[in-house]
Amino acid sequence: MRSQLCGLRKETIVAGRLDDKVALISGAARGQGAAEARLFAREGAKVVIGDILDAEAEQTAAGIEAAGGAAVHVHLDVTQEADWREAVSAAVGSFDRLNVLVNNAGILRMEGLEETTIEVWNEVIAVNQTGVFLGMKYAIPAMRAAGGGSIINISSTSGLIGSPKASAYHASKGAVRLLTKSAAIQYASENIRINSVHPGVITTTMVTENVDADTRALFEQATPLGREGTVEEVANGALYLASDESSYMTGAELILDGGYTAQ
Catalytic residues, which ones? 169
d(CA 182, CA 184): 5
Judge whether 95 and 21 are in contact, CB under 8 Å: no
Say if CB 36 and CB 112 are below 8 A apart.
Answer: no
Decide if 246 contacts 193 (C-beta within 8 A).
yes
CA-to-CA distance for 56 and 52, rounded, in angstroms?
9
Q: What does the DSSP assignment read for 165-210?
A: S-HHHHHHHHHHHHHHHHHHHHHGGGTEEEEEEEE-SB-SHHHHHH
The arrangement of strands across the sheet holding 192-199 comes to: 70-75, 46-51, 22-26, 100-103, 149-154, 192-199, 253-256
Between CA 24 and CA 177 the distance in angstroms is 20
Q: What are phi and psi for residue 30, nearest 5 degrees?
A: -155, 175
Question: Which candidate, 156, 188, 150, places its Cα nearest to that of 174?
Answer: 156
Best CA proximity match to 15, nearest among 69, 59, 52, 60: 69
